[in-house]
């Protein structure tokens, strides 16, 4: 049996107000190509499908198109669970895909996946609250315990044994006397779970007996000792510069044989660039024209805004400049030695005073008195 594990598509998410729908479409096409090449029996999508509860129409369309292509007309069973960013109502709108394409969706902890078409190569043969049984073309069976939206249901506020009992109760909803390969599909990231116990005790205790625990989260985690895995997000949404991937796992004899991280490269990368001053920035940024860049300038000397504007114009993916100095606007040149009276009149005008007569007489009197004092 082969499993493809992905998570955190975050469809609709922007990066410094930049729309990344085109990149998201490209990465999902890349994942479909990986599935066509590696030929998994089951595709697991561990939550955070969308960036928020009200995703744009194009993100909904992109999701429907991608999971349909991953299912390949029933060739593969696709199991999707909701994450803390996902609206259960939005996900449930796609439940009709179970019978038509073999896509099973569990939107929240009370949701039950629909059985898929019995004529499909890989199909859902049984389901209930908290579990999905999948039978593959070769007759192998997987029992998938599904725990969606774990963070959205205040489980994170529970501590110790309370948290243990809550999650453990959902996992035990699945038939326990099964000989099927056991998978836990959980809509949470590893640190949301390990924070409940020191040294990851929760992962060892709660998921003991599962051949593969599929988690979500923004960063990849491969814990072979506890058979606990998270592929991370499908593209860079911050500046961690880590390679993005999906996971492809293979079982043999009812046991996990190997897990491979397959790199994703279709989306633009993010990079941190450090320069000593703005004069050297242009040379250092060359080669990063197709990456989102955060520029660190270590100098604190003031710089004219025009220099900053020119850099951002030349490198449109320059998303952020971290600089401790002042960015100054170009100032209108002044006369080299303006008369004191002209400076005073300019001050009065800026103060909103329109009748200068009395002020000018007073200014001249003070000036003459100061001049006499100086001469004396």
pLDDT in tens, 108-148: 888 999 989 999 999 999 999 999 999 999 999 999 999 98
Write down the pLDDT at residue 173: 83
Measured between alpha carbons, how far is 133 from 143 in angstroms, rounded to an integer? 5
CB proximity list for 138: less than 8 A, separation 6 or greater: 1, 41
What residues does each domain of the chain span?
2-264, 270-328, 340-375
Q: How confident is the model at residue 331 (pLDDT cuts 50, 70, 90)?
A: low
Average pLDDT over all residues of the chain? 86
- Give the pairing type, strands 141-147 and 131-135: antiparallel
Q: Which among 312, 233, 296, 300 is positioned nearest to 267, based on CA atoms?
A: 233
CB 277 within 8 A of CB 323: no
Measured between alpha carbons, how far is 237 from 218 in angstroms, rounded to an integer? 9
148-160 b/e with 16+ CB inside 10 Å = b?
bbbbbbebbeeee
Q: Is the pTM of this model over 0.85?
A: no
Give the angle subtended at the CA of 350 by the CAs of 349 and 354, to the nearest 5°.
30
Superfamily of domain 2-264: Metallo-dependent phosphatases (3.60.21.10)
Write down the pLDDT at residue 189: 83
CA-to-CA separations, 300 to 223, 296, 303, 323, 325, in angstroms, rounded: 44, 11, 9, 7, 4
- Give the pairing type, strands 244-252 and 228-230: unpaired
pLDDT in tens, 158-174: 666 666 677 777 888 88
């Amino acid at each position: 049996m082969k499993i493809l594990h992905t998570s955190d598509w975050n469809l609709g998410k922007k990066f410094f107000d930049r729309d990344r729908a085109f990149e998201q479409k490209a990465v999902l096409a890349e994942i479909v190509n990986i599935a066509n090449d590696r030929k998994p029996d089951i595709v697991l999508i561990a939550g955070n499908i969308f960036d928020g509860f009200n995703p744009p129409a194009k993100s909904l369309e992109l999701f429907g198109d991608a999971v349909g292509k991953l299912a390949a007309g029933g060739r593969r069973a696709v199991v999707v669970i909701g994450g803390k960013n996902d609206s259960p109502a939005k996900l449930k709108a796609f439940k009709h895909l179970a019978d038509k394409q073999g896509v099973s969706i569990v939107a929240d902890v009370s949701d039950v996946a629909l059985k898929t078409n019995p004529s499909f190569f890989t199909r859902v043969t049984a389901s209930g609250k908290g579990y999905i049984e999948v039978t593959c073309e070769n007759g192998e069976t997987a029992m998938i315990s599904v725990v969606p939206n774990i963070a959205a249901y205040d489980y994170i506020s529970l501590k110790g044994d309370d948290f243990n009992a809550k999650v453990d109760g959902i996992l035990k909803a699945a038939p326990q006397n099964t000989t099927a390969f056991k998978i836990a599909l959980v809509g949470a990231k590893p640190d949301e779970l390990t924070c409940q116990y020191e040294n990851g005790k929760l992962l060892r205790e709660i998921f003991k007996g599962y051949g593969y625990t599929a988690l979500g989260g923004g960063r990849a985690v491969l814990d072979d000792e506890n058979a606990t895995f998270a592929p991370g997000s499908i593209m860079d949404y911050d500046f961690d510069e880590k390679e993005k991937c999906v996971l492809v796992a293979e079982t043999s004899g009812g046991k996990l044989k190997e897990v491979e991280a397959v790199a994703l490269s279709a989306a633009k990368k993010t990079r941190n660039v450090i320069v000593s001053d703005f004069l050297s920035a242009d040379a250092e940024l060359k080669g990063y024209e197709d990456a989102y860049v955060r520029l660190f300038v270590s100098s604190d000397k003031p710089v004219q805004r025009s220099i900053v504007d020119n850099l951002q114009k030349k490198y449109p993916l320059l998303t952020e400049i971290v600089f401790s100095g002042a960015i100054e606007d170009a100032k209108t040149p002044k006369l080299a030695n303006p008369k004191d009276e002209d400076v005073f009149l300019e001050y009065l005008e800026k103060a909103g005073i329109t009748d200068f007569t009395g002020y000018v007489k007073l200014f001249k009197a003070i000036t003459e008195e100061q001049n006499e004092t100086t001469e004396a």
